[in-house]
Amino acid sequence: MIALIFLQLIVTILHAENWAVLVAGSRDIDNYRHQSDVYRAYKILIKNGFPKDKVITMAFDDIATHVQNPFPGKVFNVPNGPDVYIGSDNIDYKGFDVTASNFYAILEGDSGTTGGKKVLKSTKNDNVFIFFDDHGASGLLLFPQGPYAYAHDIGEHLRSMKKKEMFRNLLFYVESCNSGSLFSDLLLQDNNIYALTSANSLQSSYAVFCGLKKYNAICLSCEFAQNWMSQSDKGNLKKITVKDQYENVVKKTKMSKPCQFGDKDLLQSKLSEFQSYSNSNDYLPEELSIILDQVLNREQNEQQNEQQGERISQTQTHLMYLKQNSTDEEFEIIKNQVNAEQKRSNKLASYLGIDNPNHNDVDKPQNMELYKHSIETYEDQCGRLNEFNLWFNTDILSEAIRIGIEVMVRCSIEGLNWNKLKESYPKFQQARCDYFP
């Protein structure tokens, strides 16, 4: 009997497969870094033995051939580094197929929703690695088309995956502003899910290698993503644990505070259980890896900003890129637009009867369904949020909901509709674009 159980265990291990989902949730050349990070992550996984059919990629795929890319057909993740572009054929969801709906369908193995495109087919014996690189705000991740991905919806789909036995263990990395707000209430200790975020619930995350003339002032990467990928790219994943990676990114990510959530038992897991597939031996010996790390760190410290670029908050990269690529006259027009957006945000706050909140003080509201509904209502009336108003306006709506939460919780979340929203907080019904200047 013991021998039979042992044999079954061996068979289970031998048939266990790793899967990965890599998502760049933005578009346009000024957000180059998000796709660049995802392309490099793909190359790391392939180098470590992942078959292409076990890696699912989402990227708008508009930066390699963008007219303002100084190296047409190529994408770089570090200054003077290798081309990391994976080619359009290796991007499973591109253009306006990069949506929250398709992301959720991928996670749940729902190929009907995706029109037959690749989805997870993982089982209870398999490990799943998810890396999401994007803009975010309190309680949400952006997508270039359609609704955003909200914390409570992400949590619901992860719980559904668990219920459907779609993984043994799941590792989820997120690079975005306010990424710590995505998991704070959703992941429990015993659910076999561990999440690592680039920032806490209140902070911006940071872009790196910004402002370099050689790359047309494009930010090449994000700080947190760069730190975990650098370790995974050259380290021995059979020896490095999830805990090691967490401690590494905490140490090296200087401008924001990476946070961990979920099942801490996974901290003892080796990275090879998530970021490699087969018995790949494409690693440096540990002794050489340590020496290389010391040399690279020393060289990086010795190089000047003009060689390595700058670290810039993701909330400011769009404006920095426009400044570097505009005439003085053009940038004056852009600044006027930024000032106009700020005035509109101030009027929104005033109209709702609150002070314009400090971004570093506003956490996601408890009533996430109402928050989601208020953002969608705002966008329906006033257009999609942009990089000049995203963080201001989501903070304002979040704070308004927080202040009015005692009134709002009288609404039933189930079947929440416009009339119930109007009854609970009428000013959301009235807040149309006609109050803007």
Residues with a known catalytic role: 135, 177
The alpha carbon dihedral of 205, 209, 210, 216 has a sign of negative
CA 229 to chain centre: 14
The alpha carbon dihedral of 22, 116, 273, 174 has a sign of positive
DSSP string, 33-93: HHHHHHHHHHHHHHHTT--GGGEEEE----STT-TT-SSTT--BSSTT--B----GGG-SB
Bridge partners of residue 199, in order along the sequence: none
Cβ atoms 195, 174 nearer than 8 A: yes
Q: Is 94 exposed, middle or buried (0-12, 13-18, 19+ CB in 10 A)?
A: middle
**Residue whose C-alpha is closest to residue 127's, from 246, 244, 263, 36:** 263
Report the C-alpha gap between 337 and 248 in whole angstroms: 40
Q: CA angle 355-359-363, nearest 5°?
A: 95
Neighbours of 375 (CB within 10 A): 22
Query: What is the 3-state secondary structure of 295-339?
Result: HHHHHHHHCCHHHHCEEEECCCHHHHHHHHCCCHHHHHHHHHHHH
Report the C-alpha gap between 68 and 216 in whole angstroms: 8
**Which SS3 state, helix, strand or coil, does residue 399 take?**
helix
Half-sphere exposure at residue 227, Cβ-oriented, CA atoms within 13 angstroms = 27
Report the C-alpha gap between 29 and 311 in whole angstroms: 18
DSSP string, 205-218: PEEEEES-GGGTT-
3-state DSSP helix/strand/coil percent for the chain, to nearest 5? 45, 15, 40
Report the C-alpha gap between 230 and 326 in whole angstroms: 33
Bridge partners of residue 114, in order along the sequence: none
